[in-house]
């Protein structure tokens, strides 16, 4: 016998209206109640008539998250947080990987999946202002990462202050007495907006400390993966004689760390290493990785909140949310804070 | 002016039929052609009438991948490969995280999202045979990971030989002269099927080598994350005096590695460390991590192929695909194979 809404309500000890709210993905249900109802649904093998309800509500309960790639632990961790935040609202998350390629990113904003989703959370790399202004699709969208263009914002946006964060990371190394501070992760436009901002912060810090800008200390990395970090570090050791290196993300830094240690170069004694992102890997390497820590939980929650307001029709003008960051000094810059006891 | 199918075909230099095949997600389009058509679609901001085509084809072009969590690098890497394999067929992948909880896993199999998806790739942890036999939903499903139950298979299944792989990993350590080989990652039922198989392989290897089974050398880890590995290693060092440790996944091994190195214990000289999964992190630690490497690409491709055959109606009986694995000896067990040059 098929279970009915009423059976689920009785089993979960809640009202029929509450079960209906859970099934329809309305946000005003506590996580505990939602969990109880979902458990009852599972135990009774209850299957709501979802096609009918989709048509009625005009909502699928699905939002898309588009990121460059989940192979990058930063985006995997961000996706986990987005899925959790969305789950609190009863939403399912569909994940798109764009590889940071403009053609794929344009497909995402063009609404090719808009029949499936209620809204879109999008972390683009190569998208241009033109791509945004050309957009015809009306699916609500929240952008993550860098602001695109400098004019009036067209979309809700969640980001961090990359220039300030990179400046602080570099000042941290300079403050510990390092004078030949290299940077790994520079990129050429158009897809290098984040790289450009972090490079700017790095340059600002050097200027503040009266350190010369030595071009041989700046290494490019077209993609920010461990392999690129290891290769860039190997090249810097040939030409630059650095005593510290600021890597524009943790994956690059983990690659750089490996390149140094495998050559018998001591970290932090000979070369200090600093990353950016605070991915879990860096808390378990030896030495542990000093890094810039943006709050990924806050980024995910803010993005989901902005999208929810957009879907509810309570948001008017596009909003800009700046998420705080902090330095996390660990062993790779000489901080003796054990991260694992 | 809105672009039409014909404009896209002209722009991409292909037939209208080919554009239609891409838009409808049919598999028999080469990746290069698909990319050209998708680029043309993006450049012309063409939007197919997808709701209509979904109704016509009875297909959404979306498949779901349900995994315990993307925070675990193994599942993040697997998801990347699944997304790539699905993309070759023009499918979008929706990702569900179950946290390995039975209630959430039952929700996944109960078809709560079946109005959205054409098929389901599912890597369960806590699901029981009963949950599968009770299933009423008809959405095609392929299971990843352990076989559930020992009877006749009800579903297509892709997995590896965990007993054999764990046995080989343990024999590798014994063959290098280690005699007090610990294991980290044992779990209690019901969610510990993989743990039970890997423990079985570990015990088989010890028995083959005439090594005693010392219970003080077996550490439990309710979840297989780095933190659990570090804690388990710390506990083993108190009580077990191991000279090697086989961790049931790489995350545990990276935690164990950190616990050893932070105490000044040398790896591999004092304690050898072996993991399982071959996640990218382990190729960049110092020492690099010896591990068991299952082919994640093959797992993803086989699962997508099985699902495609199911959707096409060309598959009859449930099929079982066993994916090969190999040992990847690295520095943490004394192999001097530099993985980063």
Per-residue CA distances from A241 to A178, A229, A263, A271, B278 (Å): 12, 16, 14, 9, 33
Pair (B125, B52) in one structural domain: no
Pair (A155, A169) in one structural domain: no
Residues of chain A with pLDDT under 70: 1-3, 23-28, 45-58, 112-113, 115, 151, 189-191, 336-341
- Residues of A in Cβ contact (< 8 Å) with B227: 340
pLDDT computed for residue B52 by the predictor: 42
Pair (A66, A52) in one structural domain: no
For B17, residues 6+ apart whose C-beta sits below 8 A from its C-beta are: none
pLDDT computed for residue A185 by the predictor: 96
* Whole-complex ipTM: 0.76
A18 is in which domain, residue-wise?
Answer: 5-57
Identify whether B97 is part of a domain: yes
Mutation target to probe the B interface, by most B beta carbons within 10 A, among A32, A65, A70, A273 is A70
Pair (A167, A287) in one structural domain: yes
Q: What angle do CA B33, B38, B41 make, to 5 degrees?
A: 130
Determine, for residues A38 and B103 on separate chains, whether the beta-carbon distance falls below 8 Å: yes
pLDDT computed for residue B59 by the predictor: 73
Q: B261 in helix, strand or coil?
A: helix
Pair (B70, B174) in one structural domain: no
Identify whether A340 is part of a domain: no
Identify whether B217 is part of a domain: yes
Determine, for residues A73 and B77 on separate chains, whether the beta-carbon distance falls below 8 Å: no
Per-residue CA distances from A239 to A170, A216, A217, A219, A242 (Å): 20, 7, 8, 11, 9
Pair (A198, A239) in one structural domain: yes
Identify whether B338 is part of a domain: no
Pair (B83, B127) in one structural domain: yes
Positive or negative torsion for Cα A284, A289, A294, A299: negative
Identify whether B238 is part of a domain: yes
List the structure tokens of A73.
Answer: 């632990």
Identify whether A141 is part of a domain: yes
Closest CA to B127 of B156, B102, B157: B102
Pair (A232, A246) in one structural domain: yes
> How many domains is chain A partitioned into structurally?
3
pLDDT computed for residue B103 by the predictor: 80
List the structure tokens of B65.
Answer: 């991948």
Last residue of a domain, one of B33, B57, B81: B57
Identify whether A250 is part of a domain: yes
Beta A244-247 vs A272-274: how paired, if at all? parallel
CB atoms within 10 A of CB A219: 26
Pair (A166, A289) in one structural domain: yes
Binned average pLDDT, 10 residues per bin, chain B of 341 residues: 72 82 68 80 63 52 88 91 90 82 82 78 87 86 85 86 97 96 88 88 97 94 93 94 97 98 97 97 96 96 95 87 95 72 41
Identify whether B192 is part of a domain: yes
Each residue's pLDDT tens digit, B236-259: 999 889 999 999 999 999 999 999
- Residues of A in Cβ contact (< 8 Å) with B97: 80, 83-84, 87
Taking the CA of residue B113 and the nearest CA in chain A, the distance in Å comes to 8
Ranges of beta strands (E only) in chain B are 62-67, 92-97, 119-122, 141-144, 156-159, 181-186, 218-220, 244-247, 272-274, 291-294, 320-322, 325-328
pLDDT computed for residue A340 by the predictor: 45
Last residue of a domain, one of A42, A57, A72: A57
List the structure tokens of B186.
Answer: 């044992």
Q: How many CB pairs under 8 A join A and B?
A: 182
Pair (B306, B289) in one structural domain: no
Between helix B193-208 and helix B162-175 the angle, nearest 10°, is 40
Pair (B72, B132) in one structural domain: yes
Pair (B143, B199) in one structural domain: no
Determine, for residues B70 and A70 on separate chains, whether the beta-carbon distance falls below 8 Å: yes
Which CATH number do you get for residue A19? 1.10.260.40
Determine, for residues A254 and B62 on separate chains, whether the beta-carbon distance falls below 8 Å: no
Distance between CA A301 and CA A299 in Å, rounded? 6
Which CATH number do you get for residue A66? 3.40.50.2300
- Cross-chain CB nearest to B92 (options A113, A136, A281): A113
């Amino acid at each position: 016998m098929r279970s009915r809404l009423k059976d689920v309500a009785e089993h979960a000890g809640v009202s029929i209206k509450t079960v209906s709210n859970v099934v329809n993905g309305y946000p005003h249900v506590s996580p505990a109640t939602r969990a109880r109802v979902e458990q009852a649904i599972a135990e009774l093998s209850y299957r709501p008539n979802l096609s009918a309800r989709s048509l009625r509500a005009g909502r699928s309960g699905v939002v898309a998250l588009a990121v460059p790639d989940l192979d990058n632990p930063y985006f995997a961790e961000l996706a986990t947080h987005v899925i959790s935040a969305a789950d609190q609202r009863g939403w399912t998350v569909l994940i798109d990987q764009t590889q940071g390629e403009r053609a794929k990113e344009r497909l995402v904003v063009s609404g090719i999946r808009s029949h499936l989703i209620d809204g879109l959370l999008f972390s683009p790399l190569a998208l241009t202002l033109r791509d945004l202004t050309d957009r015809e699709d009306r699916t609500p969208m929240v952008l993550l990462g860098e602001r695109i263009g400098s004019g009036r914002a067209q979309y809700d946006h969640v980001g961090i202050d990359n220039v300030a964060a990179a400046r602080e990371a570099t000042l941290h190394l300079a403050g510990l007495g390092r004078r030949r501070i290299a940077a790994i992760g520079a990129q050429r436009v158009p897809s290098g907006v984040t790289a450009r901002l972090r490079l700017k912060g790095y340059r600002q810090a050097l200027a503040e400390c009266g350190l010369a800008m030595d071009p041989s200390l700046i290494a490019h990395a077209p993609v920010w993966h461990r392999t690129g970090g290891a290769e860039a570090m190997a090249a810097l050791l040939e030409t630059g004689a650095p005593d510290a290196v600021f890597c524009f993300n943790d994956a690059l830094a983990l690659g750089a760390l490996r390149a140094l240690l495998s050559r018998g170069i001591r970290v932090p004694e000979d070369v200090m290493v600093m990353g950016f992102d605070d991915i879990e890997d860096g808390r378990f390497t030896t030495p542990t990785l000093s890094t810039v820590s943006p709050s990924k939980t806050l980024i995910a929650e803010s993005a989901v909140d902005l999208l929810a307001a957009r879907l509810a029709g309570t948001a008017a003008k596009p909003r800009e949310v700046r998420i705080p960051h902090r330095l996390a000094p660990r062993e790779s810059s000489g901080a003796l804070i054990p991260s694992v006891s």
